[in-house]
Amino acid sequence: MNKKNIDKETPKYTSRLIVRLTPQLHKEIAEYATLCGLTTSAYARKRLEGKYPKQRLTDKEMEALNSLSDARGDIQKLFGFLKGRPLTERENILRSEIFMKRWRTSAEVILNRMIEIEKYLTQ
């Protein structure tokens, strides 16, 4: 994107609004802004627009999300591999004892990781 397009998309904040807050309310707003990864001004602007900024994920939550994403990718690869095969070949693959043992081992790893993530998120 060139600079002209960026300038058109970014609103220019030129008006100022001064608000008096209690120290406690100011502290709460600053904490919420930090949780959302925003400055207090940006957080206040969003709230005044009627929006609810989302809280950033913690490092542990990001790790859990990445693990789920990896598991989803592995499952998609398996389905993609099987989908590209003719029906008779798919049947032979799924009847293969070696394939099923490997698939079961992989599935157990994925399911165990999902259980760990679920436990973490429900604590």
For residue 71, give every residue at least 6 positions away whose Cβ sits within 8 Å of its Cβ, in sequence order, or none.
110, 113, 114
Cα–Cα distance list, 115 to 19, 79, 109, 112, 119 (Å): 47, 22, 10, 5, 6
Q: Give the chain's mean pLDDT.
A: 82
Which carries the bigger pLDDT value, residue 2 or residue 22? 22
Q: How confident is the model at residue 33 (pLDDT cuts 50, 70, 90)?
A: very high
State the distance between the two ends of the chain, measured CA to CA, in whole angstroms: 44
Mean pLDDT of 16-32: 91
Least confident piece of the model among 22-26, 84-88, 118-122:
118-122
pLDDT above 90 for 81: no
Q: How confident is the model at residue 24 (pLDDT cuts 50, 70, 90)?
A: very high
Determine contact, residues 54/32, Cβ cutoff 8 Å.
Answer: no
| Residue 111 Ramachandran class (φ > 0 left, ψ -120 to 50 alpha, else beta) | alpha
